Structure formats: C-alpha cells, structure tokens
Structure 1
Amino acid sequence: MLNMIVVDDEPIIVDGLYELFQDVADVELTLYKAYSAVEALEIVRRTKMDIVITDIEMPELSGLELQKRIAAQWPACRIIFLTGYSDFSYAHNAVRHGAADFILKTEGDEKIVDAFYKAVRSITMELDAEKLLEKAKRQMRMALPALQTQYLLHLVEGDVPEKDRIRAQRFTELGIGLSPDAPVLLVLGRVDDWHADMSGTDKALLLYGVHNIAEEYLSRCRLAFAAYSVNKFAVFVQPGETEAGQGDGEERDGGSALSMFVGGMLDNIQSSCKSYLKVTVSLAVGREPVEWAAAGRQWLELERLLGRGLGLGREALLTEGRETPADERMAVDTATERKLYRLLKRIDRAEAALENGQREAFVQWFDDVMEAVDRETPFNPFQTEAYYAVAQLLLKSINRTGIRPEPWTPDDLDRLMNVRFHAGWREAAANLRRTAELLFEKKQRDRSDRSDELVVKINRFIHDHLDEELSLNRLSEKVYMNPSYLSRLYKQLTGVGLSEFISGARMEKAKELLRSSRHKIQDICKMTGFDTPAYFTRLFKKHTGLTPQEYRELHGKAVW
C-alpha cells in the first residue's frame, strides 16, 4: 500500500487531482490532500508518505522547502513538482534536491498520471529481488560469526545427524574452517563467575577474549569457537593441515596425539584467562576425536561432567572417561537422555508457538517430549524434568497473557504444578495435554472475539463520521494499529477492503438521503463525505447507473 498527498494553494487543483487519483484501480493507494505546505507538513509528520504531488510557489512555505523537510523524515518519498512556471531554474533546483519529476500545470492530466506511475515503478524497483538478495548477502557476511556458531550448535544439538553432503555444503557456505569429513574433538568451557557489575556487552567481550586465548595456544590446530549461553562456550578442534594428511594407522595415533596436546594446553588456557581476563574458567575435553554424527554424544557427556562440578566446582579441568561409574548415572538409556536434552533446548520455539497460537507446532514438540521419556515405570527424574519444563511453560503463558483455560480452578493449578498429584506418568502427561488444549481453545476464542470487536468498532466509527475525513491513518489511531496492518487485517477478517467499505457506506447513506429527505444534492454530497458535487455525481452514476437527480426522481418519496 502506498500513501500519496496532493499539495497546492489552489483548491480547484487539489480537488481535481484528488478526484483524478481516486479512480486509480491498479495501485493500492491511500490519498491525502492539503491546501498549503504547512497543512501538508502536519499530515506528513504523523503519516509515512510515499509520493507527494506539490506546487512549488506557495505562501508561507515553498514546495522546495517542503521537499527538504519531507526528505528529512521520509527519505524514500518521491516528490512530483507541479507548477505554472516554465523557468528552467525551478526545474534545475527541484531535480537537484531529488525530485522525481517536474511538470507544468499546462501539460494536462495524462502527463501527471504518467509521472505518478513512474514514481510507483521507482518505489517498486527499490524492492527488486536481486537488490534484496545482494543486500542479504552483505548482511550475511556481517553476521557470519553468529551463523557459524548457530550451525555448529545445530550439529551437536540436533535430533538427526546432518547428511555428509549437506554438512559439507554448509561448511563451505558459512566459511567454517574445519573439515566436514574429519573427526572433531570437543572442548566445553564455563566461566565460573562474572563480576557483579558486568554488562552483557562486557561478558561478550570477555568470551571473545577467551576465544583469542584458545586460538593462541591451539594455533597448530584448526578450530572453531562457539559461545552458547551467557557463560558457556565450545571449541571444535581438528589437527592442523600437516597433521591431517596422515594414513589410517597414523590418523588414529594422530587423534590420540591431538587429544593429548589439547588436554595439555587446557591448563595454559585456564591460567591465561585468570591472569589476563581476570575470570576463572572450567574446561572439559573429549577423550578422543569423534565423527560429526557422534559429536552430540560427546557434547552431552562433557556437559554432564561440567554440571557435576567435581572437586571445588571452580577452575575444573576434566576429561571424558571411558566409563562412567554406575552410581553416577541415571538408570535411563543414553539415547533417551540425549533426546530429552535436545528437545528441552528447543523450549523457546515451543514457547513462541504457544504465544502465537500455533497449536500444531506446539503439540508436535510436546508429543516428542512425552515420547522421549514415556516408560512403564514409577516417576523417574527425567520424566519429572520433562513434566515441570512443560508445566512451567504453560503457567508462564497463563500469567503473561492473562488468559486462563476454561474451566480453571485452584485444583487445576495444583494438578498442573504437582506431578505427584497424578497416579502415574500417563495421567500426568494427559493432564498437561488437556491444559494446553484448553489454553489454545481459549486463545482462539479470545482472538476471534477481539477481531469481531475490532470490525464492529471500525464500522461504527465509519457510519458515525461519514461526513468527515476517514483516512486509513485516522482509523488506525482509533484502534491503536499500524495503518498498513489495519488495512490487511480488515480485509482478511471481512473480505472487503476498508476503502471499498467506506465508499459503499457513503453511497448507501447518499441513496437513503436521496430517497427520504429534502436536502439538496450538493448538501447530501457534503453529508456523505464526498469532496465535490462533480465527483459525487460521477461516482454515484458509476455505482447505480443513474445520476443523483435521476435516482431521486425514480425512488424518492414525497417528503414535501
């Protein structure tokens, strides 16, 4: 949708052009008009303007000065100057200041319409797909470190291992300096304590400092660094170029040598972080390099090592063991544990789906979580973790939105927040599912009710103010929405565009007044919001096939 304003100190020109562009059907256009540059500025201050057709010579403020002020607020706005002066200096100044076109008033409507479509094409070209793609590429290069981190984390946290061909393609696209085919050794780290007065920016800079220290000590290796929470980071390590080109037997030895080298350097990395960055870090390294498909298992084991906090729980240096003592492991399959871990990592997506009313996406995630821990045993810790993760998500949504499932009682809250309230796991999972379904149903009803209220409010305002200016901007202020969004939403809800509805309402009111009142036609024109009798007559005949006078004579009642 485009916004356009016509500005001139001669009302006949403003009204004529306003009527001319009312008939434009192939461009979604909202029209405004102003009888002075000062009046135009008031409109432009509160409404984004795409095209301006303006006179140059006007009292108080010239068109050239108006152009400068509009450009300061809406730089992409196209200005079409319309003037009675053929002096070349005017055209030169107008174009020099960025005017889209310069037209003499004597050149006629066709020339003005051509200039309008030229401006529309110019605006459209700015959204050209190739330009957008090139801009996206530039932005992608700037965002490359973040995209690399995101993809590496996806590899170790994803449910399904990435296919070799796809992984190789993504490494190339993102410029990741690791081999997509060679084994990789993982090192996970944690900043044990941040200083109390550190901002988020300070923490990010310190993690970047940790990255630089790791690169310095592991300079003979290829590595990638990825920060994955406010205080955790991962280092993906492979042998350097000279070490990577060894035979199969040497490659296995090379893997052991890599693990030994990296493990030996962790103490140096830890000490340097403390000395130069004034932060303490804990580090855990994998036992040996693993294939990318197995990196997720090594990641999970290192996360567990750091989480157990062996020794003092600070400045730990840990190595993945070949076996973990049975008494330190839950009696749950490692695959199940890993799947739950990854699903709960995606809880932010589930929260977004819940907030946006995307039932299908939420239910899919919920079913995956329940399936991951479903077993015919008494409640185990992983079932309890899954239950409370979902329960807290539902409660958070209820509190944030103020939307309560119906029916909803204090007992329902107790049942939601106490897993032991239920006789078994299947009953507990069913209660979570029921609560989520009730929440989605209530959200949908509320959304539908609010949409109906919006349409009723807009329609009532239109009918009560048919004799006034009913611009999209004015209507949007009444319902506190962006004008473009209101236009799209109204058409989506009703199947009719706002401009079409306003025009139809005005026409019905005019027909009613013609049938049942003694008002003059020019008064009816004003009472129904049409700008001029000529425009009213032309539009009325287009709508009914009759002029207003012919309609009155055919359908009017004897009211005098």
Structure 2
Amino acid sequence: MYRLLIVDDEEMITDGLYETLSRCGLDLDLCKAYSGREALDWLHRTRVDIVLSDIRMPGIDGMQLMSAIKRHWPHCRLIFLTGYSDFDAVYQAIQTPGVQYLLKSEGYPKVIHAVGQAVAELNDSLRVNDLIHRAQEKLNTLEVLARGEYFRHLLHGANEAANLAEDFGKLNIPLDADRPVYVAQGDLSGISAALSSYANRHESAMAVTLLAERLLDGHVLCLGMIDRFGDVVWLIQTSADRAEAGEDEADDASFPTYLVGQFELIQQACLSSLNLSVAVTLADRPSNWPKLSATYDKLRRQRQTRAGDGEQMVRTLSLEVSCCVKERSPRDKSDALSAHLEAGRRDEFLQLFDELTDTEPDNGSPYLLELYYTISLILLSYINRWELENQVVRFPALMRRDEFASWKDAFAFLRATAGSLFELRSTGERNRAAEAILKVRAYIEEHLDEDLSLVRLAGYIHFNPSYLSRLFKQACGVNMSEYIEAARIERAKTLLKGDDLKVLEIGVRVGYEASQSFTRFFKKATGVTPQEFRDAVRT
C-alpha cells in the first residue's frame, strides 16, 4: 500500500481532498498536514510515496517541501495544486522528474486522475522482472562472486578489518572502508515449498538483492549479498555527496527512517514482482567494520523474537547494548574454528578459541555447555577423520564434560587437545617429509646408473620438482644434484677397489656413459683419476 500525504494551509481544502480520495477506490494510506512544517514532520517519521501539496503556503512553501522530499524520499511522486499563475514555480516544478502540476480550479476528477497516474508510475518502477533478467549476466561475474564470498567471510567472524581498504579496492566494492555501515538482513524463510530447492531459493534471493539495489541506487551506497543461510544481507552507507558534505552516519537521525521507508517499498516490489514475502531487520545505527560480524549475529537472533509470522515486517533493532563474541551462538564460530584446524593455522585457531572461552565462570551456563561440546565435536571429527584416537591423551573425555571440576579445567583440556592435534599434524608433516626423502635417497642408491633428473625423482614420489628440491635441501643440507654426484663417486670408489670391472665399465655402472665425463667428475671430487685411485688402493 502506498502512502499519500495531503498538504495545504487551508483546512477546508485539506479535509475535502482527504474525504474525496478516501472514497475514490485507490488503495492508499492517507495522511494530511496543514502546513509545510507539519508535512516535514511526516517526512521525517515515515516513508511517503505521493505528496499532494499546495505551492503557496506560509513558512515552508511547496518548492521548499519539494527539495526536502527529493532529499528524503527520492522515489516519491509530487502533485502540486495551486490557484496562482506562478510561472517560475510552475516551470521549476514541471522540470523535476516525478512532479505534476494542477490548478485547484480543475476539480476533484483531475486530482483523482493525477493520483492514479502517480500510483501507476510507482507500480511501473517496482516491476523489475526485466531488470533482473538483464542483470543475470552480472550475477555470474567473478567479481560479484568474489564480493559475496569475501563478505560472507567477514560476516561469519573473520577478523580482517585492517585490510579493508585494500580489499575493497581490489574487489571494486562500492563502500567506504573508513566509514561505519548500516546492516540490514532480509528473511526469506516464508518462501513457498515450490521454491525450496537450493537453486530456486538462491535465484530468488539474488532477485531480491538486485531489486533492492535498483531501488536504493543513486541515493545510498549499497551492497547486497546472500549469507550462508540463504538469506539476504545489505550493507549500506549514506551517499558519497552526503559524506563529502560532512554528514556522519552516526549523527544522521533521519537516515534509518529513510531506510525503513525504502525497505517497505522493496517489500512491496518483492511481493508484486517476485511473489516473495521478505521480512527485514535493520540496525538503528551504523556499525564499525570490526563489529560487523557481531552486529549481523544480533540481527539474526532477533528472528526468534518477532511478532506473528513476521512477513512484510521491517523491524529496527537497537544496538545500544554492545555486541560481543560470547553473546553469539558457538555454532556461528564453529566453521571458522574447524577451517583453522583443517588448514593447520595454529595461531588463528587458538586466538579464536581464547576469544570464545574468555568468559566469567558460570556452572549453570547453557552457553558454556554448548560451547564446550561444539568445540569437542570439532576436535573429535578431526581425530576420527585422521585416525588419531590412539595418539591423543584422554581422548574419550572430549564428550564427558562432567570429568572436569570447573569450566576453566574443561576449556584448558580442550585447548591442550587442540595444541596436541596441531603438534601431531606438524610432526606428521615432518615424518612424511622424512619418509619421502628416505625413499628418494634409496631410489638414488639403487638407480645410480640411470637418469636421476629432478623431474624423474619428483615423479617417482608424486611431488612437483621445485618442492622436492627445496625439501631435499632442508632435510639433507645439500642440493640434490650434489648428493647424487657424491653417491656416484662413493659407489665408484667401492667398485674401483675390486678387480672385476674395468674403469670404463665402472663409469657406466655409476651413470657416466662417456669415460671422459667419469674421469673428469671423479678427479674433481677426489683430486686423482679413477685409475690413479685404483693404483693407490692396491699398493
């Protein structure tokens, strides 16, 4: 339903228009004001879609009102009524998009027609199916995918605020990393069973995202994305020109009212164009980037406390009570903990673990119980997957919280267990590296007469050549080529001590097809030729 505001300093005209339009059959929410100042109060309190106003009024006149309307509600249609032939005002009005001009003498039928036309224009602006189809190519670009993945990373607990400006630049993100941001969350849980498949739900969520960006475009800085739950999240800042004028989000009390009104329009557009109901929860003030994740979590938690079915609700959430990590569900952080464990990021895991468990002891806390078993399950899953149960001390205690006298002892056990898993991983990596090097060295000893190129040896143990070269030098202290030459020379010395083979044959046995090459390398390593070495060991 659109909201129409009637403004005239003559009460009889205002009341007459109100009564006439209330009976005209248009589905409108009617409001009235008897002065420009009272009209401004309406504009500051709620979204207004159509304004029917006199031009000439004492105090704030129609032209000043038009400026305020375009600043606060840029999609609003304006119909001017006047009994004066004020050419300058009329000329200015008709040059402004979304503005109509009528003489009061033209009567109510003309007014009703003009209001109907304004309603039709608003409906047209909300029919965006063709826009969504045209934007389909945009959905598939790597840039859009990268942006969504990046912000999902931030929303779900990544602590990377220090690199925001650099990241925003690389990803062409249309937000200012130095200014706080409003967060709004759209709940699509009322989606019909016919759209319950992942592909349909994702497509619907993207359609809602694009539609909102279309209606907010040009008036705010906005980026929409889909969170891991399949719902829509918008990050919003005031427009660049307002920022340049020095208007701070935190001090702009009218901006949340504007956002509430715009999201009402977005809901109406989603219902009429997409046949989707969207409930919106909006933070009442901007959030600093380091607190983005906590603010988002607080918005999600409010879904459990909404009134009725919540459909078509735009709810404003107060952020006066600061959000902190321990207010969050442990499940919200479990993915990050698990990712750090799987990737072997010890420092990041322990830092997040300490943040989560830095809480006052409370033996009856359901949160701490959930936290304990959430972390335990992460560790248990890792242990089972890598078959480490025989290498972890007190492994069964992971699922027996009652074995510990206090929460401090319980979490200390979990931390120690995590530390041992990282150590086992590190030890395992070192052991596997040592085993690989032993395997390579054994292969070299057994195939000194063959091609022992780095490429062949790397293929033998399924490593890439550069990595094998670096790993071999770390383990043995010499380059692989030096090791192979030394092994060939030592084998040659052993064979030269016997009388069974000629010097030429020995050279072939250790990988030198040409006798000159064998002699040159042997003398470089020992200071004598192969024959001189044989003669010396015989005497």
TM category (shorter chain) comes to 0.5 to 0.7
1:388 paired residue number: 373
Matching of residues 310-459 of structure 1 within 5 Å: 310-312=307-309, 315=311, 317-322=313-318, 334-335=322-323, 337-338=324-325, 341=328, 347-371=334-358, 373=359, 375-404=360-389, 406-407=391-392, 412-413=395-396, 415-459=397-441
1:471 paired residue number: 453
Q: Determine helix, strand or coil for the equivalent of 2:475.
A: helix
Matching of residues 151-190 of structure 1 within 5 Å: 154=154, 175-178=172-175, 184-190=181-187
Q: Determine helix, strand or coil for the equivalent of 1:223.
A: strand
Deviations 1:476-529 (A, max 9, x none): 333232233222222222222222222211111011101123301111111111
Matching of residues 131-150 of structure 1 within 5 Å: 143=143, 146-147=146-147, 150=150
- The structure number with the bigger radius of gyration is 2
Matching of residues 483-498 of structure 1 within 5 Å: 483-498=465-480
State the alpha-carbon separation in 2 of the partners of residues 426 and 230 from structure 1: 33
The one of 258, 261, 264 equivalent to 2:261 is 264
State the alpha-carbon separation in 2 of the partners of residues 539 and 146 from structure 1: 55
Matching of residues 191-202 of structure 1 within 5 Å: 191-192=188-189, 193=191, 195-199=195-199
State the alpha-carbon separation in 2 of the partners of residues 513 and 251 from structure 1: 85
Q: Determine helix, strand or coil for the equivalent of 1:187.
A: strand
- State whether residues 285 and 302 of structure 1, in contact with CA within 8 Å, keep that contact through their aligned partners in structure 2: yes
- State whether residues 221 and 237 of structure 1, in contact with CA within 8 Å, keep that contact through their aligned partners in structure 2: yes
- State whether residues 287 and 320 of structure 1, in contact with CA within 8 Å, keep that contact through their aligned partners in structure 2: yes
2:68 paired residue number: none
Residues 308 and 508 of structure 1: is their aligned pair in 2 closer, same or farther, counting only changes over 3 Å?
A: farther
State the alpha-carbon separation in 1 of the partners of residues 486 and 179 from structure 2: 69
- State whether residues 184 and 283 of structure 2, in contact with CA within 8 Å, keep that contact through their aligned partners in structure 1: yes
Partner AA of 2:512 in structure 1: F
Residues 448 and 269 of structure 1: is their aligned pair in 2 closer, same or farther, counting only changes over 3 Å?
A: same
2:232 paired residue number: 233
State the alpha-carbon separation in 2 of the partners of residues 251 and 356 from structure 1: 39
Residues 340 and 459 of structure 1: is their aligned pair in 2 closer, same or farther, counting only changes over 3 Å?
A: farther
State the alpha-carbon separation in 1 of the partners of residues 180 and 341 from structure 2: 39
Partner AA of 1:351 in structure 2: S
2:513 paired residue number: 531
State the alpha-carbon separation in 2 of the partners of residues 150 and 142 from structure 1: 12
State the alpha-carbon separation in 2 of the partners of residues 418 and 284 from structure 1: 39
State the alpha-carbon separation in 1 of the partners of residues 288 and 265 from structure 2: 27
The one of 482, 496, 501 equivalent to 1:500 is 482
- State whether residues 379 and 425 of structure 1, in contact with CA within 8 Å, keep that contact through their aligned partners in structure 2: no
Q: Determine helix, strand or coil for the equivalent of 2:441.
A: helix
Residue 214 of structure 2 corresponds to residue 216 of structure 1: yes
1:31 paired residue number: none
State the alpha-carbon separation in 2 of the partners of residues 160 and 524 from structure 1: 62
Partner AA of 2:210 in structure 1: N
Partner AA of 1:480 in structure 2: H
Residues 334 and 237 of structure 1: is their aligned pair in 2 closer, same or farther, counting only changes over 3 Å?
A: closer
Deviations 1:378-431 (A, max 9, x none): 14132223222321221121122222352556xx32x21243443321121122
> With structure 1 as the length reference, what TM-score do the two structures score?
0.60
Following superposition, the deviation at residue 285 of structure 1 comes to: 1.4
Partner AA of 1:359 in structure 2: R
State the alpha-carbon separation in 2 of the partners of residues 460 and 481 from structure 1: 16
The one of 273, 294, 299 equivalent to 2:270 is 273
Deviations 1:342-362 (A, max 9, x none): 997565554344334443443
Following superposition, the deviation at residue 169 of structure 1 comes to: 7.3
Gaps spanning 5+ residues in structure 1: where? 1-140, 325-332
State the alpha-carbon separation in 1 of the partners of residues 399 and 505 from structure 2: 67
- State whether residues 154 and 292 of structure 2, in contact with CA within 8 Å, keep that contact through their aligned partners in structure 1: no
> With structure 2 as the length reference, what TM-score do the two structures score?
0.62
State the alpha-carbon separation in 1 of the partners of residues 288 and 465 from structure 2: 53
Which stretch shows the higher mean deviation, 258-267 or 460-469?
258-267
State the alpha-carbon separation in 2 of the partners of residues 249 and 357 from structure 1: 42
- State whether residues 270 and 277 of structure 2, in contact with CA within 8 Å, keep that contact through their aligned partners in structure 1: yes
Following superposition, the deviation at residue 546 of structure 1 comes to: 1.0
- State whether residues 294 and 328 of structure 2, in contact with CA within 8 Å, keep that contact through their aligned partners in structure 1: no
Deviations 1:84-103 (A, max 9, x none): xxxxxxxxxxxxxxxxxxxx
Following superposition, the deviation at residue 271 of structure 1 comes to: 4.4
Following superposition, the deviation at residue 549 of structure 1 comes to: 0.9
Residues 450 and 236 of structure 1: is their aligned pair in 2 closer, same or farther, counting only changes over 3 Å?
A: closer
Following superposition, the deviation at residue 302 of structure 1 comes to: 1.4
Q: Determine helix, strand or coil for the equivalent of 2:309.
A: coil
Partner AA of 2:316 in structure 1: E
Among the aligned pairs, what percent are the same residue? 30
Residue 284 of structure 2 corresponds to residue 287 of structure 1: yes
Partner AA of 1:534 in structure 2: Q
- State whether residues 158 and 342 of structure 1, in contact with CA within 8 Å, keep that contact through their aligned partners in structure 2: no
Following superposition, the deviation at residue 543 of structure 1 comes to: 0.9
Residues 453 and 158 of structure 1: is their aligned pair in 2 closer, same or farther, counting only changes over 3 Å?
A: closer
Deviations 1:131-151 (A, max 9, x none): xxxxxxxxxx96477358736
- State whether residues 190 and 232 of structure 1, in contact with CA within 8 Å, keep that contact through their aligned partners in structure 2: yes
State the alpha-carbon separation in 2 of the partners of residues 233 and 251 from structure 1: 23
State the alpha-carbon separation in 1 of the partners of residues 322 and 249 from structure 2: 31
State the alpha-carbon separation in 2 of the partners of residues 168 and 357 from structure 1: 28
Q: Determine helix, strand or coil for the equivalent of 2:536.
A: helix
Q: Determine helix, strand or coil for the equivalent of 1:285.
A: strand
Count of aligned pairs: 395
State the alpha-carbon separation in 1 of the partners of residues 399 and 197 from structure 2: 35
- State whether residues 488 and 511 of structure 2, in contact with CA within 8 Å, keep that contact through their aligned partners in structure 1: yes
Residues 147 and 498 of structure 1: is their aligned pair in 2 closer, same or farther, counting only changes over 3 Å?
A: same
- State whether residues 525 and 536 of structure 1, in contact with CA within 8 Å, keep that contact through their aligned partners in structure 2: yes
What root-mean-square deviation, in Å, do the aligned CA atoms of Structure 1 and Structure 2 show? 3.9
- State whether residues 285 and 319 of structure 2, in contact with CA within 8 Å, keep that contact through their aligned partners in structure 1: no
- State whether residues 149 and 225 of structure 1, in contact with CA within 8 Å, keep that contact through their aligned partners in structure 2: no
- State whether residues 183 and 296 of structure 2, in contact with CA within 8 Å, keep that contact through their aligned partners in structure 1: yes
